[in-house]
Chain A
Amino acid sequence: MLSRVADSVFWMARYIERAENVARFIDVNHNLTLDLGEGLGDQWAPLVYTTGDHEEFFKLYDQATRENVLRFLAFDKKNPNSIFSCVCSARENARTAREIISSDMWEELNRFYLLVRDAVNSGASGDYEFFAEVKRASHLLIGTTDCTMSHGEAWNFARMGRLLERADKTTRIVDVKYFILLPQAAADVGTSLDVVQWSALLRSASALEMYRRNHGRIQPQKVIDFLLLDRNFPRSVRYCVGGAEDSLHAVTGTPEGTFGNRAEQQLGRLRSELDFTSIDDVISSGLHEFVDVVQDRLNRTGEAIYQSFFEIDAGGNRGQIQTQEQRQ
């Protein structure tokens, strides 16, 4: 397929996943802060740190009030990572890849766009229902993609984009707890408030019920284990990285356990590290530090994918795959 179109499909999926996850962030913050009471309640600044957009935020707003943060994260056109911006970008990417995605996908995406645009135009403040709708629209689109698009190259690029984005965002959801509870983390461990907060965290990743079936009682280590390292839960970081790697190999045809370009090398390394890391290792090295490293690796993988597939010079000599193809 065309490099430009592969790039568009990849980013279309990424932006949709990003929009969904911003909705999840806001949801988890609601859940966490509502119970915290005086002093700690209504903490919204940590949210913009978690998403990594704090610099952009403080350029546009003075104070991290609930209203400002919600507007910034959900509706602000000036924030390139707001839900609205993400959905617009996803739609623009879909438009340039229109001929290879299915009409059903385009229609769902377009409905998604209209949903968010109408909310922006009507000056919505961002209530619970809106964020639930955003998640639903994203799931609908993913389902439509799976059911109406051939699971070939383009689909694999979309899946790669989606899973890499999701892995990154799940690490950030885990990080929310770190940011919000840092000042008093030690004091609260094991209290009922702590349990409530960890549950909220799981719920925001739609993981609470699945966690319960696997681990039963809420224990911080197990929660982190589940969100970062579980093999079967579709939002865990390990699952996402593994899935992205599968799609990458499906595109290149390189056998598993080997690599034919830098993207495969980066992603393979990260996957095996997650495969052979225990939750004790994570805790002892520091959760926040571990999460930082994973995020950095994911970013480098994204760059490597760009260089290997999307950016091709006139001779077609970029990345291993192209040169292999040329020799034949």
Chain B
Amino acid sequence: MPYAQPPTGISRFIKKPLHAIGCIAPAIEYLIGGISFALDSAALSPAYDSAADLFSLSVASAMSAIAYQAGGGYDEMFGQDGLPRPRMEQFVRRLESLADGDLVWHQKAAESMLRNLGITFAVYGHQDGTEKVWPFDILPRVVEPEEWTVIEAGLKQRIRALNLFLQDIYNERRVLKEKIIPEELILSAKTYRSSCMNLKPPKGVWCHVTGTDLVRDKDGKFYVLEDNLRCPSGVSYVLENREVMKRTFPQVFQGVSISPVEDYPERLLHTLLACAPDGVNDPTVVVLTPGVYNSAYFEHSFLAQKMGVELVQGSDLVVTGGRVMMRTTRGMKQVDVIYRRIDDDFIDPKFFRADSCLGVPGLMEVYRAGRVTLANAPATGIADDKAVYSYVPDLIKFYLTEEPILPNVPTFLCDRPTDQKYVIEHMHELVVKPVNESGGYGILMGPQSTSEERAAYVDLIKTNPRNYIAQPMLTLSTAPTVIDGQLEARHIDLRPFVLCSGEDIYVLPGGLTRVALRRGSMIVNSSQGGGSKDTWVLVKNGSRNHSKNGNGVPAQEARGSLSC
């Protein structure tokens, strides 16, 4: 038995390197939102496949002779004993009651619907931007209500703090004066924009839309992997996934009460309107896209369509008379709020990158004058710098005098001498990554690396310590997924979406669950064999919020959650 029941929690990685326990499994690159993160794949090594560590459940009645084997780590549906988690029992029973081949049939129906709807994403590096159909798994990922309550509160807290941090950093800088976070760390960040000093966005909102990446480690706890405060994408798939589920697999919804996600566009529009510049009556909102060849174009058009606003490209906008105007068939029309899905760097060639042809020359001047709202505000990238990330728990304490609800993944800053020493000594068991790169560039995965690579990396770190951080490796939780007509465990993550309107903070129940479809893989990125699942946040018995329709009659809604 080379690899016994692993100690739970990520702390074990810090105490003891993997290879020391005799595990030779390669680390696997794990990409979220284009940013790589390495996780250990110990759970998937042959040694780990021995019976003692596996548990299985037969859903043979649903499909012929299928045994579901949870991988290592935490399984979202089955406990360590191989039995469904209490709240999942009813759901599992429903799966069991399906006729032979039903699940596969529904899976096919969903795929065909996605194809007909043209729900695709562009794959870079191919001629004429080849489209791929969005891979979708028919089995939903279920989040228990108690868990969600914690996640929701944790995210609200985090966004509140990060928003205050942004306002502070570009204005009073209390956080630096009181030495909560080293000044040098901020000023040396690539995403820090000195040109944005003294900016005061309408309603004090910087990050109108955030997509925070969460992972559940072996200990069953959710950890924040990273904050995406620039242009997080994926929310359109949350809505489409639910739609596809409802149309192709309505049976599974019976008797289950799930938090709705369909009102997201309404909430987003509300958020954008609420943050319009002062004194504008009936503001005009637009979505700004880099264009049809952007990999997230589907989402840009989806959101514009659902909100009923124009989807503009840089070339549609022009600055005249101190205002942003769009070219319409009836001449120029003023634009008041821009939900921009273009990075800071490209948004205004006069202000940021001069070679950008995606942006609008002069836009920032209008923005600074307070005559247009940008969502998200420029310069929010400083708050999702990976070194700043490690201070978020401190920021929460500082701005809110609260204890952080959601934990961070422990992070070593190579900028700190003691951390640097530790990272260099333990490089073979850590993931080392640059603080601002995305797309998995420049990442070193300790266990997989050669000693030459590590030596080269040590040089990099010593040359520019500010640019590197290190983290232990996690094992993503798994969920049952339909693979070739069988249920198999696949690793998943979760990206909830948070809207901040200045009046309130809204967390879309659930979010995007991405699933690594390849066996053993922890790469959930859609361009690399990742798919997604509908994410169900169960509603507690009788607790559905009826505030929207006031005198709502809860009788029908309160049929209960999966556990009843």
Interface residues of A (CB under 8 A from B): 1-6, 91-92, 95-96, 98-100, 103, 106-107, 110-111, 113-114, 153, 157, 251, 309-310, 312, 314-316, 321-322, 325-326
**Least Cβ distance of B503 to chain A in Å?**
26
Interface residues of B in 300-345 (CB under 8 A from A): 301-302, 304-305, 309-313, 315-316, 318, 320, 325-332
Complex: A5 Cα to B289 Cα, angstroms:
13
Contact of B318 with A2 in the complex, beta carbons under 8 Å: no
Inter-chain CA distance A114–B309, complex, in Å, is 28
Contact in complex: B330, A322 (CB < 8 Å): yes
Closest B residue by C-beta to A251? B329
A5 & B331 in contact (Cβ 8 Å cutoff):
no
- In the complex, B297 has a CB within 8 A of chain A: yes
**Contacting pair B328 A2 (CB below 8 A):** yes
| Known A99-B301, A251-B329; contact A4-B315, beta-carbon cutoff 8 A | yes
Beyond A2-B326, A111-B116, 6 additional contacts (C-beta under 8 Å) are: A2-B327, A5-B310, A100-B310, A103-B117, A106-B117, A107-B118
| Distance in Å: Cβ of B334 to nearest Cβ of chain A | 12
Q: Is B292 an interface residue (CB 8 A)?
A: yes
Contact of B305 among A96, A103, A322 (CB under 8 A): A103
From A4, A5, A111, residue with most partner B Cβ within 10 Å:
A4
Q: Is the CB of B327 within 8 A of A3?
A: yes
Of the residues A3, A95, A114, contact of B292 by C-beta under 8 Å: A95
A103 nearest in chain B by CB position: B305
Q: In the complex, what distance in Å separates the CA atom of A314 from the CA atom of B326?
A: 9
A310 nearest in chain B by CB position: B329
Q: How far is the CB of A151 from chain B (nearest CB, A)?
A: 16
Chain A CB within 8 A of B246 CB: no
27 A-B Cβ contacts within 8 A? A1-B328, A1-B329, A2-B312, A2-B326, A2-B329, A3-B328, A6-B328, A95-B301, A98-B301, A98-B304, A98-B305, A99-B287, A99-B301, A106-B117, A107-B117, A107-B118, A110-B116, A114-B115, A153-B329, A312-B331, A315-B320, A316-B325, A321-B329, A321-B330, A322-B330, A322-B331, A325-B330
Q: Contacts of B320 on A, CB cut-off 8 Å? A: 314-315
- In the complex, what's the smallest C-beta–C-beta distance from A120 to chain B, in angstroms? 15
Contact assessment for B327 and A110 in the assembled complex, using a CB-CB cutoff below 8 Å:
no
Whole-angstrom CA separation of A5 from B330 in the bound complex: 13
Is B118 in contact with A316, judged by CB distance below 8 angstroms?
no
CA distance A106 to B118 in the complex (A): 8
The answer for the CA separation of A111 and B114 in the assembled complex, in Å, is 11
Considering only CB atoms, which chain A residue lies closest to B319 in the complex? A314
Max chain A CB contacts within 10 Å: which of B302, B326, B331? B331
Known: A96-B292, A110-B117, A110-B118. A321 touches B331 (CB 8 A): yes
Q: Produce 1/0 per residue, B113-141, CB < 8 A to A.
A: 00111100000000000000000000000
Contact of A316 among B287, B297, B327 (CB under 8 A): B327
Contact (A114, B116) CB under 8 Å given A2-B327, A95-B297, A325-B331: yes
Q: Find out whether the CB atom of A1 lies under 8 angstroms from the CB atom of B327.
A: no
- How far apart are B266's CB and chain A's nearest CB, in angstroms? 16
Q: Is the CB of B305 within 8 A of A100?
A: yes
Name B310's contact: one of A99, A110, A326 (CB within 8 Å).
A99
The answer to whether B327 touches A326, judged by C-beta atoms less than 8 angstroms apart, is no
When chains A and B are docked, how far (Å) is the Cα of A56 from the Cα of B201?
A: 56
A49 nearest CB across to chain B (Å): 30
Task: Report whether B313 and A4 are in contact in the complex, using a CB–CB cutoff of 8 Å.
Answer: yes
A-B interface contact total, Cβ < 8 Å: 80
**Residue numbers in A under 8 Å from B326 (CB-CB):** 2
A3–B312 Cα distance when bound, in Å, is: 10
Bound Cα distance A169, B319 (Å):
42
> Is A99's CB under 8 angstroms from B309's CB?
yes
**B26-61 interface mask toward A, CB cutoff 8 Å, 1 = contact, 0 = none?**
000000000000000000000000000000000000
Asked if residues A2 and B292 are in contact (CB atoms below 8 Å), the reply is: no
Kindly list chain B residues whose C-beta atoms are within 8 Å of the C-beta of A309.
329
- Residues of chain A with a CB closer than 8 A to B327's CB: 2-4, 312, 316
Q: Given the complex, which residues of B lie within 8 Å of A321, measured CB to CB?
A: 329-331
B residues near A99, Cβ cutoff 8 Å: 287, 301-302, 304-305, 309-311
A251 vs B287: C-alpha distance when bound (angstroms)? 24
Q: Are B332 and A316 in contact (CB under 8 A)?
A: yes
CA distance A107 to B247 in the complex (A): 14
User: Given the complex of chains A and B, what is the CA–CA distance between A314 and B327 in angstroms?
Assistant: 8
CA distance A316 to B333 in the complex (A): 10
The residue on A at minimum CB distance from B301 is: A98
CA distance A114 to B131 in the complex (A): 13
0/1 interface trace, chain B 269-312, chain A, CB 8 Å (1 if under):
00000000000000000010000100001000110110001111
Q: How far is the CA of A157 from the CA of B325 in the complex (A)?
A: 22
| Residues 202 to 252 of chain B near chain A (Cβ within 8 Å) | none
Among residues of B, the one whose C-beta sits closest to the C-beta of A323 is B331
Determine the distance from Cα of A212 to Cα of B305 in the docked complex, in whole angstroms: 45
Cα A325 to Cα B311 with chains together (Å): 22
- Give complex CA distance A251, B313 in Å: 23
Docked CA distance A316–B287 (Å): 21
Question: Which of A107, A114, A312 lies at the interface centre, i.e. has the most chain B CB atoms within 10 A of its CB?
Answer: A312
B381 shortest CB reach to chain A, Å: 27
Residue numbers in B under 8 Å from A314 (CB-CB): 318, 320
Give chain B nearest CB distance to A267 CB in angstroms.
16
Taken together as a complex, chains A and B put the C-alpha atoms of A289 and B310 apart, in Å, by: 44
Give the contacts of B140-161 with A (CB-CB under 8 A).
Answer: none
What's the Cα separation between A91 and B118 when bound, in Å? 10
What A residues does B117 contact at CB under 8 A? Answer: 103, 106-107, 110
Q: For the complex, what is the distance from the CA of A137 to the CA of B313, rounded to whole Å?
A: 30
What CA separation (Å) do A2 and B327 show in the bound complex? 6
Q: Which B378-428 residues have C-beta < 8 A from chain A?
A: none
Chain A residues contacting B297 (CB-CB under 8 Å) are 95
Least CB distance from A210 to B in Å reads 33
Q: B331–A2 contact, CB under 8 A?
A: no
Q: Would you list the 7 A-B pairs with minimal beta carbon distance, nearest first?
A: A98-B301, A99-B304, A110-B118, A99-B305, A322-B331, A325-B331, A316-B332
Please report the C-alpha to C-alpha distance between residue A321 and residue B328 in the assembled complex, in whole angstroms.
Answer: 11
Interchain CB contact (< 8 A) of A98 among B116, B311, B315: B311
B316 with A2: CB separation less than 8 A? yes
A3 near B316 with CB under 8 A, answer yes
- Which residues of B sit under 8 angstroms from A322, Cβ to Cβ? 330-331
Interchain CA distance A309-B328 in the complex, whole Å: 8
A80 CB, min distance to chain B CBs, angstroms = 14
Q: Do residues B331 and A326 form an inter-chain contact, with CB atoms below 8 A?
A: yes
Q: Mark B337-380, 1 if CB is under 8 A from A, else 0.
A: 00000000000000000000000000000000000000000000
Tell me the bound Cα distance from A251 to B367 in angstroms.
33
Q: Considering only CB atoms, which chain A residue lies closest to B332 in the complex?
A: A316
Cβ of B328: which chain A residues have Cβ within 8 Å of it?
Answer: 1-3, 6
Which residues in A have their C-beta under 8 angstroms from that of B309?
A: 99
In the assembly, what is the distance between CA of A314 and CA of B302, in Å? 28
Residues from chain B with a CB closer than 8 A to the CB of A1 are 310, 328-329
Query: Measured between alpha carbons, how far is A211 from B301 in the docked complex, in Å?
Result: 44
* CB-nearest residue of chain A to B304: A99
Smallest CB separation, A144 vs chain B (Å) = 13
Instruction: Write the nearest CB–CB distance from A27 to chain B, whole angstroms.
Output: 26
B residues near A157, Cβ cutoff 8 Å: 329
Distance in angstroms between the alpha carbons of A97 and B328 in the assembled complex: 13
Q: Is the CB–CB distance between B301 and A2 below 8 Å?
A: no
Q: Which residues of A contact B332 (CB under 8 A)?
A: 316, 326
- Is A6 a contact partner of B305 (Cβ separation < 8 A)? no
